[in-house]
Structure 1
Amino acid sequence: MTRVRTGLERLTGHPRPVGRDRVGLVTNPTGVLPDLTPSAPALLAAGVRVTALFGPEHGLRGAAQAGEGDAAPADPVTGLPVFDTYGRSGGDLDALVASAGVDALVFDMADVGARFYTDVWTMYDLMESAARLGLRFVVLDRPDPISGALAEGPQLDPAFASFVGRAPVAVRHGLTPGEIALLANRTIKARLDVVPLSGWRRERYFDATGLPWVMPSANMPTLDTAIAYPGTGLLEGTNAAEGRGTTRPFELAGAPYADGRLVPALADLGLPGVRFRETWFTPTFGRHAGAVVRGVQLHVTDRLAFRPVLTGVSMLHTLRVLYPGAFACDPFLDLLWGSDALRRALDAGRDPRGLVPDGGPEGAELLYG
């Protein structure tokens, strides 16, 4: 197996794309070399003039929960000032970036392969700021951990663009951060450079890269979590539990109103590459915190056959059919799905599984075979 070399590893050997620019590094705990050296000290050791750090949702240190940033004023490792981007966009984000006094922004964070994971949209918003401020923007590419061979689900309807989806990509998009940046830059027109991966092919999952897995956020502990997330993440737009507050977020799902019919109904669907085991869990925080929740654990038996988005949509439909008086969607589902089509189908009692196309990644400039 050929070990994948990330954009960070390649830039530390040849820092030419940033030259002597004052660099604002956009990163989190996933920004590491293969020996787990964080990107900020790695770039400083390579002679890159990193003068500021920018943190995304969950913060520079990854300690914050969903919907939170990081208020730490300085990085304890490098002493560099930290700028919290979460919740900022447009002119507010421009002012934050301008206050850092940098000439270039360098993005080094892992994605998880689902459109509604926000790290790449932090990248998108900062690319827009860089374009308005005349700054260089450099993406240090990293693999799509759930492979880049398959896209699943509809592309985003621009009318539903939000921080859980800015560009027209599928729910499971099959793209690297660098490929999303190139797609986005067709309209943003930033001074963009992508430092590509070497040794990565689209069919490779993260555990075939030779790279260490680092949790992208507090509720994304393992590759197994990331494999399930493009489907079970849709539960966040409903009143069911997606497993936050447990040791198996996004692999556990259920609701206090579920009963013994749920697992047999899901099993009868014959969904590819997955089995369902009945379980009970008590979330320590988040939706239904402190309540005993009856539901399922997803056991992915064949990740090449598994279709996470189809599975997630099927779970929502099954909950709607079995518990019509209890299960409910909310408008956030529209933002997760990228249109209101899924919510309208569920509310009307229609089978929404026909809304889940799959195929190869589309609409992007693919960097890897």
Structure 2
Amino acid sequence: MAVEIEISEAAVPSARHSKVLIIGSGPAGYTAAVYAARAALAPTLIKGPQPGGQLTITTEVENWPGDASVLGPDLMARMGEQVRTAGVDVVSDMIVEVDLARTPFRAVGDGGTHYTADTIVIATGASSRWLELDSEAEYRGRGVSACATCDGFFYRGRVCAVVGGGNTAVEEALYLTNFAEKVYLIHRRDTLRADRTNQTRLHANPKIEMVWNAEVADVLGDGGGVTGVALRDTRDGTFSQLAVHGLFVAIGHDPATTLFKGQLHMDDEGYILVTHGSTATSVPGVFAAGDVQDKLFRQAVTSAGMGCMAALEAERYLAGHNARAIAADGADTGMTV
């Protein structure tokens, strides 16, 4: 018979073991938890530093299936309640250390609690880079956004600006032309980093106007929403203003993967690499779901889908692992399996 390894609580203070340990509580983490619970895997979910993920700082969400409109925090509260109803062990903790070099995998919370697990689902997400302006933070969700796909619909027939010079910024600007009357693309240099195909599409679009050699110095508003931006010329330092109804910041994202560096294969930007069509990472038994491995779509619904995939793949991994263990035991004892 298979023998389960028990971790002595005397050797490891406050040890907690689970078949599936989920790190992160956004759409990916919550969905993985529901599916793992329904598979009778008794998962543990560590909520992390921002329970609910980026949707908790989002206002109206109008592209979540089944809801014509829902507030981001309300949607995540509903997901959290579903997870608790499913019987998931939800822990308010932040993982500060992990060891993926041996099994069971080990993780340590910032309060000193040790967690061990047969499989891990990493759903720590990614955070948008911001301009770090007080006015930007003031109008975030009221005219300042980091996601055109999420919020572009609100600017139908209006004027918007996008900040950035890479592929993301160009793609955001192009997407906004489906709704906005005019889109300014503000870049601090006089050339873009975006690839040639995107640049060709950009320059061919009559709705987009480039604002070269400029950076946003301040976000202007009337208290209720954005009315414009103050720009500083990067060559001579002079200031000007641009009247816009929305500002989209597209200067990149930072995946929350510092914990796993040196233990998992990642790309140059720190996103976890997974097998194509899968959530499997370079370490068997460790899966990554959501924005932590997805730098292309970054949508709540795709993150949730990947959370589902990760839980199902964790279940299959455990089933295969248990089958091999039983077969090995049978071989050792002369039993027929």
Pick the structure with more strand per residue.
Answer: 2
Higher relative contact order (CA 8 A, sep 6+): 2
TM-score, normalized by the shorter chain, greater than 0.5: no
Largest Rg, 1 or 2: 2
Using the size of structure 2 for normalisation, the TM-score is 0.32
Using the size of structure 1 for normalisation, the TM-score is 0.30
